[in-house]
Structure 1
């Protein structure tokens, strides 16, 4: 397969679940990620040293690795007026040179010795608001249409900062992570178009198609 685009891993970020104060109670979350040095093994559905607090909504085969574009982080830094740095959005891979939110669902990336496939956008939950110190941030994140992308593992291996990110293939349907995010989070008229990507997780795609049909009645 010929390389379409190439970028670079700026940081590999991992984190274990921890207790965080949320109002008058505590919650478990692993959204706080930190960069690590050296090669990091990717086995099953996690990088070494990484985990999820609630696997009913996070992690699993279709959310094994979360990638975010360093350019989008820089955009948010300008919007928020403060430094964020790698891992600020709970991403495992902070990448440069590949517009992650515009990645096509089903496109495949060679990163280090791994092979990854774009599966779906990140749909924000209240824990992103905790991470940013502002519960209203969820609405801002949705409106910005800069969701990054979750990737599934096609081939296990290891990844390190400085590795190339090579886009090896891209499905012709053209449905991007950002388009799916927009369809689900605020523009339901896009659901039909967004559901045209057969590589979306089955349950998510079925929900999108059902909701789109309901709009047409």
Structure 2
């Protein structure tokens, strides 16, 4: 089976990837650990995929949509509230999902921002089981300086990342297409960038099967 939707050459291969994603995320997913410092990380045990993005970009909502559990990841209406790495076990060890602290919240103190960046980089650089980072960008607004800085950080850490646009249901079609093309250009500028940009909505389910398929290809 191809390792990505970009490698699928036939409709049968694409359908097989989508079905593998559906089956994986139909399995139980449970929270099992939280870490605010590097020495609090759980032992590495299998493939991990982390979710990274600006505060209030919709990370928790996307995790909930992927797993079909409305309250698995805590959705906060206060940007910048999540200040730890949250670990979720999917399908009894086949894949670990990691919800990373949001970045770029204007009202967060400089010391807190520095701590977040330090924790993220140390985690990214030293986690041998980390297969990919899903970098979330808000489809409704332009790419921020913090988003570009995150790409540079991921590139420096030599961690593969895939850009996923969120909240697509609240964006005009012409703007959404412009955002997708811009995201593809940004990915191409980084050696760690994955070529496939996915457009998603946690509200309508747009792009959720495709993202599940991409993640299932990385599972044990």
TM-score, normalised to structure 2, is 0.28
Larger relative strand fraction: 1
Higher fraction of helix:
2
Tell me the TM-score normalised to structure 1 length.
0.29
